[in-house]
Amino acid sequence: MSGIFLSYRRDDASGWAGRLYEHLVTEWGSGQVFMDIDAIAPGEDFRQAIAHTMETCDVVLVVIGPNWVDARDYKGNRRLDDEGDTHRQEVVAALSGADVRVIPVLVGGADMPKVSDLPDPLKDLVYRNAAVIEDRRFASDVRALQNALKQFVKLTTGDQVPTTSANGDHRQQVRSSPPQHSAPRSTAESVSRAGASLTAQTVLAVLGATVVLVWGVILQPDWHDELWVIRAAASLALVVLTAVGVWSRQWKWVLFAGIGGLAGLAIWLIQLVNTHPDEINEIFGGPPYDGIPNFVTLIGAVAVLIAGWMGVRASATSS
């Protein structure tokens, strides 16, 4: 295989990597640009498969986003320190390839890691000159990168499709050979599904935030308007953080939105009880009182919290 390989961490830079892939494919063709790929043979050593893929590419672009250095698994351990982490293995294998040009690509305002930030097998990455791609000039920065790549990437004939296991490990398969496994997905389709699919956590987060927006901000019970600002502030913070998290696929922001929003709404209800001790029935009672809207608002915040937790767990297991 000859071409360009994009190595990235999904919960750090999947959106930028997807956009970069689309630009590169336009220039080089889908047969020479590789990223998300599909099936590895049963019993095949995925470490050797990764090493082979890295060594047979001309260029490996290591896409580094703002969370690249400190990305952690669901146990709180830093992923770059995990020898079994797939993305780390890709970068280590690329750095070990004698004829592989390894280029760090900084996106999302990320800075180049320091030597002290990286484990020993990755320290050499710091000394590779990086390409910077800024959101406000994405197309021109990618064009400059493409012009630089032309001196390193060899032109080949025929499409080659890399394949991977469910956990992201890689090997290559030539399209013209008989398929030994299930038909591979196209990379563009894989990127689309990763970046915009209606997952359960996405639906739950959007529904929860919508409920909180309606009952926490738009509808204002007249009898406790003096405390409405607390409820509205907590609700708006939850909605904004949820929108940012869902849009960027950074589920930690959705988790923070659920925690912060739920805490703010709890403080609001406690203040209501303290300022209206004789109106407990109106605060927590059924129609015609405000108990149901109050509980519905809390349930919306809990839904966002659960969605954020689901998203963080899913990102941890898929990267």
Residue 196 corresponds to which amino acid? A
260-311 residue pLDDT tens: 888 888 887 787 778 777 666 666 665 565 666 777 788 888 999 998 888 8
> Closest by alpha carbon to 46, among 97, 87, 95?
87
Residue 85 corresponds to which amino acid? D
Phi, psi of 153, rounded to the nearest 5 degrees: -90, 125
- pTM value is 0.50
Identify the pLDDT of residue 159. Answer: 42
Q: How far is CA 200 from CA 17, 18, 191, 307, 308, in A?
A: 23, 22, 18, 8, 11
Q: Which DSSP string corresponds to 12-74?
A: HHHHHHHHHHHHHHHHH-TTSEE-S-----TT--HHHHHHHHHHT-SEEEEEE-TTTTT-B-T
For each of the chain's 319 residues, which pLDDT tens digit applies?
568 989 999 889 888 998 999 999 888 887 788 875 444 566 777 777 777 777 778 899 999 999 999 999 888 899 999 988 888 988 998 898 778 899 999 999 999 999 999 999 999 999 999 999 998 889 899 999 999 888 888 655 444 434 333 333 333 333 333 333 333 333 333 333 333 334 788 888 899 889 888 877 777 655 555 677 777 888 888 899 999 888 877 888 899 988 988 888 888 778 777 877 766 666 666 556 566 677 778 888 899 999 888 888 776 654 4
Identify the pLDDT of residue 220. Answer: 60
Identify the pLDDT of residue 315. Answer: 64
Q: How far is CA 168 from CA 27, 86, 147, 190, 240, in A?
A: 25, 7, 29, 12, 32
Residue 128 corresponds to which amino acid? R
Compute the distance between CA of residue 17 and CA of residue 164 in angstroms, rounded to an integer: 17
* Beta carbons of 37 and 187 less than 8 angstroms apart: yes
If you ran DSSP here, which 8-state letter would residue 116 be given?
A: G
* Beta carbons of 209 and 265 less than 8 angstroms apart: no
Identify the pLDDT of residue 275. Answer: 77
Residue 147 corresponds to which amino acid? N
* Beta carbons of 107 and 89 less than 8 angstroms apart: no
Coil, helix or strand for 292?
A: helix
Identify the pLDDT of residue 163. Answer: 38
Strand partners, 133: 107
Alpha helices for 150-279 (secondary structure H): 187-196, 200-213, 228-248, 251-275
Domain 4-196 classified CATH 1.10.3720.10? no
Q: Which long-range contacts (CB under 8 A, 24 or more apart) does 122-127 make?
A: 122/80, 122/88, 122/91, 122/92, 122/95, 124/95, 125/62, 125/91, 125/95
Identify the pLDDT of residue 230. Answer: 79
Identify the pLDDT of residue 185. Answer: 36
Compute the distance between CA of residue 47 and CA of residue 92 in angstroms, rounded to an integer: 11
